[in-house]
């Protein structure tokens, strides 16, 4: 082998070794996965715990955490830096947090679902059965519970919705800085549509309140 060929071979081998040792820019460095009482994967600063039959927890992102305990078939998923999700104290509860600093909690009963989508968003569902809380938007929050079959949904930055203190209450806030509240009774519905809108249906039964102002998400303004 000539000197030039030998040098080329050495350079090629070095480049290949470097490629194998290099860490891709999008490589996962913070990840935790737990199932049925065992932590299957733990990397970096992500933490997780799952106990009970069919329970699962997955956290992805620096400082993220996911916990599914205190019952069977609970599921918790957190994705984003410092995000957190907790499902438990009952069965078949689901908590999902997506976004930096987001949080979701579901429990204190059965079949509750809390989903937080957005930076610093939060959602909580529990204190009863079949409650659902969903947030879509930065700094938005939703809470459903203190009874059964309550639903709270937000769509918009800094929006807020609460449904509970009874059964079959529904609160929906659509728009930036919107607010909806339904509860302290049964079968109440509050809907706020538009920027800075507010609706409250509470303190009794079978109330329906709709408020519309400003720009409604999904429509021309």
- pLDDT at position 123 is 98
- 148 shares its domain with 203: yes
Question: Which residue segment(s) compose the domain that 51 sits in?
Answer: 28-109
Average pLDDT, consecutive stretches of 10 residues, N- to C-terminus, the chain (221 residues): 41 36 61 97 98 98 98 98 98 98 98 98 98 98 98 98 98 97 97 96 96 63 43
The owner of tokens 């021309």 is: 220
**73 in any annotated domain:** yes
Which residues touch 24 (CB under 8 Å, ≥6 apart)?
none
- pLDDT at position 206 is 98
- 35 shares its domain with 91: yes
- 93 shares its domain with 52: yes
- 139 shares its domain with 105: no
**150 in any annotated domain:** yes
- pLDDT at position 10 is 32
- 171 shares its domain with 138: yes
**221 in any annotated domain:** no
**Against a cut of 0.75, is the pTM above it?**
yes
- pLDDT at position 99 is 98
- 145 shares its domain with 73: no
**218 in any annotated domain:** no
Domain count, the chain: 2
**15 in any annotated domain:** no
**115 in any annotated domain:** no
CB 119 within 8 A of CB 136: no
- pLDDT at position 217 is 53
**49 in any annotated domain:** yes
- 63 shares its domain with 99: yes
**117 in any annotated domain:** no
- pLDDT at position 27 is 73
CA angle 94, 97, 103 (to 5 degrees): 100
- pLDDT at position 213 is 85
């Amino acid at each position: 082998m000539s000197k030039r060929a030998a040098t080329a071979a050495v350079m090629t081998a070095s480049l290949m070794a470097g490629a194998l040792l290099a860490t891709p820019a999008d490589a996962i460095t913070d990840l935790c996965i737990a199932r049925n009482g065992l932590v299957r994967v733990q990397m970096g600063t992500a933490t997780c715990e799952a106990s009970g039959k069919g329970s699962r927890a997955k956290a992805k992102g620096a400082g993220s955490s996911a916990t599914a305990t205190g019952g069977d078939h609970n599921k918790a998923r957190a994705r984003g830096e410092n995000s957190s999700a907790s499902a438990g104290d009952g069965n078949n509860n689901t908590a999902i947090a997506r976004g930096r600093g987001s949080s979701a909690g579901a429990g204190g009963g059965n079949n509750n679902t809390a989903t937080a989508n957005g930076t610093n968003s939060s959602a909580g569902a529990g204190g009863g059965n079949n409650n659902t809380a969903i947030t879509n938007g930065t700094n938005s929050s939703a809470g459903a519970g203190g009874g059964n079959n309550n639903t709270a949904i937000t769509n918009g930055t800094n929006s807020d919705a609460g449904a509970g203190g009874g059964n079959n209450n529904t609160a929906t806030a659509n728009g930036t800085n919107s607010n909806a509240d339904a509860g302290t009774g049964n079968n109440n519905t509050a809907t706020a549509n538009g920027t800075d809108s507010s609706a409250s249906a509470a303190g009794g039964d079978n109330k329906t309140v709709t408020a519309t102002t400003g720009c409604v998400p999904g429509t021309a303004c």
